[in-house]
Homo-oligomer: A and B are copies of this chain.
Amino acid sequence: MKIKNIEKKILCRIFLNNLERKKTLGNIYKYLDIERVELEKIIDNLISKQLIKKFKKNYILTDKGRKSIRIVFTGGVYDIIHPGHIHTLKNSKQEGDILIVSIARDSRVSKIKGRDPINNEKRRTILVSAIRYVDHTLLGSKGDIFTIVKKIKPDIITIGYDQTHQLSELRKLVRTNNMKIKIKKLGSPIPHVKSSSLRTKYKKRIR
């Protein structure tokens, strides 16, 4: 079945609005350049194609609707935003229709890295949410990434070029849970940038 570009965008927006517990059609005009009459026509079409259905006063995607969009999931600390992050987020978005980003909790950063993040989780969320490739951010679970993966059920998980530690863990999770999720390690940008080398640079330069 062929789905028009605008139909797909509306499916994505309905999915996101449900995720953000908003009215599913309320803010669609803000994001899409569409008139009310046209929107109503498309909504009717999506219902007759069995891609969405009414649920209480809102709409939700049917299984068929959910399968017709591609959700990308990625995560990280994003403490000092650098061009490498932008590269990873842009490439992640290009893998699908919606990019959802999990921001590591302060408590988890301290535990893994042995130091507090410079920007706390609230500030890191503000920064990542402002990046144009990001459709939705959420705070990571206090435990591990898997709780969220099970909730979001993404089609693909992308791993930044400088993140290696999670790759084998994730592959194992997906296999043992029999989940159909592609895991993709993204390539490196040029020039090569890593948060940890930036930190050294900051330290040297800041006088």
Chain A interface residues (CB < 8 Å from chain B): 5-6, 9, 32-34, 80-83, 86, 89-90, 115-116, 118-119, 123, 126-127, 130-133, 198-199, 201-203, 205-207
Once A33-B6, A133-B130 are accepted as A-B contacts, the answer to whether A83 and B205 lie under 8 Å apart by CB is no
Question: Which chain B residues border A33 with CB–CB below 8 Å?
Answer: 5-6, 9, 32-34
- Contact in complex: B201, A203 (CB < 8 Å): no
- Contact in complex: B6, A115 (CB < 8 Å): no
Question: Which chain B residues border A205 with CB–CB below 8 Å?
Answer: 115-116, 118
- Contact in complex: B203, A206 (CB < 8 Å): yes
A70 CA / B181 CA spacing, docked (Å): 45
A34 CA / B34 CA spacing, docked (Å): 8
- Contact in complex: A80, B83 (CB < 8 Å): no
Copies assembled: 2
- Contact in complex: B80, A126 (CB < 8 Å): no
Question: Which chain B residues border A133 with CB–CB below 8 Å?
Answer: 130
Please give the distance in Å from A20's CB to the nearest CB on chain B. Answer: 16
A206 CA / B82 CA spacing, docked (Å): 16
- Contact in complex: B118, A81 (CB < 8 Å): no
Question: Which chain B residues border A115 with CB–CB below 8 Å?
Answer: 205, 207
Please give the distance in Å from A73's CB to the nearest CB on chain B. Answer: 19
A133 CA / B82 CA spacing, docked (Å): 18
Question: Which chain B residues border A34 with CB–CB below 8 Å?
Answer: 33
Q: A81-B81, A83-B126, A131-B132 are in contact. List 18 more A-B contacts (CB 8 A).
A: A32-B33, A33-B33, A33-B34, A80-B80, A82-B119, A82-B123, A82-B127, A83-B123, A86-B126, A86-B127, A86-B130, A118-B206, A131-B131, A199-B206, A202-B202, A202-B203, A203-B203, A203-B206
